[in-house]
Each structure stands twice: as C-alpha cells, then as structure tokens.
A and B are shown apart, each in its own frame.
Chain A
Amino acid sequence: MKVKAKAKNNITSVRVLAKHPMETGRRIDKESGEKIPAKYIQELTCEHEGNVVFVAQLGTSVSKNPYLAFSFEGGKKGDALQLRWNDNTGDVAKVEAKIK
C-alpha cells in the first residue's frame, strides 16, 4: 500500500494506492477453465491520532490496485496516519504514513 499525505491550510489530502488483485469471482482462468475465486478489499480505513477520519467500503466493481483520494480537516506535517484494509478472505494490511 502506497500512501501520500500532504497537509496544507489545516487540510490533509491523502492518496492511497493499495496493491490488490480485486478478483470479482466471475473471471475464468483461461488455462484451467475454472473460476478464479473472489478476493477483494472490503474495507479501508484511515486513522489520525486515534480518530477514524475515513472509512471506505468497497465492492467488486472497484478497479484492481484500488486508488483512493480523500482529505480531512486537521493534521500537520510530521503527523502519523494509520491505514488498514481487510479483504473478503481475511487478509489484512496495515501501513503507517507520515504527513508531508
């Protein structure tokens, strides 16, 4: 998961690129002819100083390697952001990013 966060005028804008296949469960493997099981991110959250500032719930219609951009009030240079996603198979990824 790549995260870029920038603070300007007391507003922090965050861009996230999560590395994930986002399999819909409908795609068919061309070699084996079998369906590729669904694997997609269900929820992505961002925390700043213990407060959840962003929650995204995603479905299978989100592109692979999901890109999300959002912003929130507050946050300053050097603050830490905790981002986390979990997918339908129970995989979880966490990353901490510094606001620039």
Chain B
Amino acid sequence: MAISRRKFINMLTVGSTACLALLSPITSWAAWASDAFNATSPDDAYKNLFGSTDTVDSDEVKLKVPKIAENGGAVPVSVKTNLKDVESITIFVKDNPQPLTATFQISAKTIPDISTRIRLAQTSTVTAVIKADGKLYSKSQEVKVTIGGCGG
C-alpha cells in the first residue's frame, strides 16, 4: 500500500511529537527559569520568578557582601536567615545586564544559609530575596566596584 502524502505528513508529526516527548524529560529536568534569567530589568525578573514585585524589607534576611569590591569578577556573597519555611533564596544584581544572578531552592532539609561568588558589571545594589511561607523578604546593599566583571 502506498502511503498518501497526507498520511506521510501525519506520520512525521506523530514521530516528532514522540521525539519531543522523549527529549523533554532531559530538558525539563533542569526546569531552568529561562524567562527570569533572561530578563533585563529587575522588575521583569521578579515577575517571571515570583509572579510579583512585592517584597518586604526585612532584617531577618542576612546578606553579607563587601561594601567595596576590587574585582567585580568574583564578589563573595552569603545569605542566611532565621525565617521558617524558607522555599527559596535568590540573588539579584540590579545593574547587571541580566539582574537575576542565582536562585537556590531550599527543601525541608536544606539549611537556609548559602554562599557563592558573583559578578558585578559595575557598582550596583545587590539584593537577596527570601521566599518564606509564601511571602517575599528582601535585603539590599550597595557594592562599589573598581573593575567590572562583565563585558570585554
């Protein structure tokens, strides 16, 4: 039996959907928040990641970052909190081309105390946002940079 043109196209679509279905677990495994990471303004990144820009300034968010960084390419940051039911810890650099820097999912067993090193393109405000019990708490600090970490 010869395969009609329509049938052939149908086969193609079914085949490729099956391929996609097979591939998607690998890509979605990451579930990387691409829209939020690619956002170029802090507000867009907030909206994409949390669905809201409403954050409450809180001293419960303990952000440790130097006031002056000689090298913007590697600025040590640590964030911790005593808040209960922490869901995530997120770091934003306001004046970077892509403000969302890193987001950490905190499970029931993870202790909400993380450290990393980040890049600052220029002097900017660094903000840590902690999502706890469905609410967003934040703390910001300005970091002065003498040599930028992004760009050529």
Q: Does B119 touch A at the CB level, under 8 Å? A: yes
Chain A residues with Cβ below 8 Å from B120 are 61
Q: In the assembly, what is the distance between CA of A69 and CA of B64, in Å?
A: 14
CB pair A72–B102 under 8 Å, yes or no, is no
Which residues 23-80 of A sit at the B interface, judged by CB distance below 8 A? 24, 26-28, 30, 42-43, 51-64, 66-74
Q: Does B37 touch A at the CB level, under 8 Å? A: yes
Indicate with 1 or 0, residue by residue over B6-42, a CB within 8 angstroms of chain A CB atoms: 0000000000000000000000011011000100000
CB pair B110–A70 under 8 Å, yes or no, is yes
Partner of A53, one of B33, B100, B107, B150: B107
CB pair B101–A67 under 8 Å, yes or no, is no
CB pair A53–B110 under 8 Å, yes or no, is yes
Q: Does B115 touch A at the CB level, under 8 Å? A: yes
Known: A53-B109, A68-B115, A72-B110. A86 touches B96 (CB 8 A): no
Q: Count the A residues whose beta carbon is within 8 Å of the partner chain — how many? A: 32
Q: In the assembly, what is the distance between CA of A74 and CA of B117, in Å?
A: 26
Known: A53-B107, A56-B103, A59-B102. A26 touches B97 (CB 8 A): yes
Interchain nearest-CB distance for B25 vs A (Å): 13
Partner of B93, one of A56, A58, A61, A73: A61
Q: In the assembly, what is the distance between CA of A26 and CA of B150, in Å?
A: 8
CB pair A61–B117 under 8 Å, yes or no, is no
Q: Does A95 touch B at the CB level, under 8 Å? A: no
The 11 listed contacts between A and B (C-beta, < 8 Å) are: A24-B119, A42-B30, A56-B105, A59-B101, A59-B102, A61-B96, A61-B99, A61-B119, A62-B101, A63-B73, A69-B115
Binding site for A on B (CB under 8 A): 29-30, 32-33, 37, 73-75, 78, 93, 96-105, 107, 109-111, 113-120, 149-152
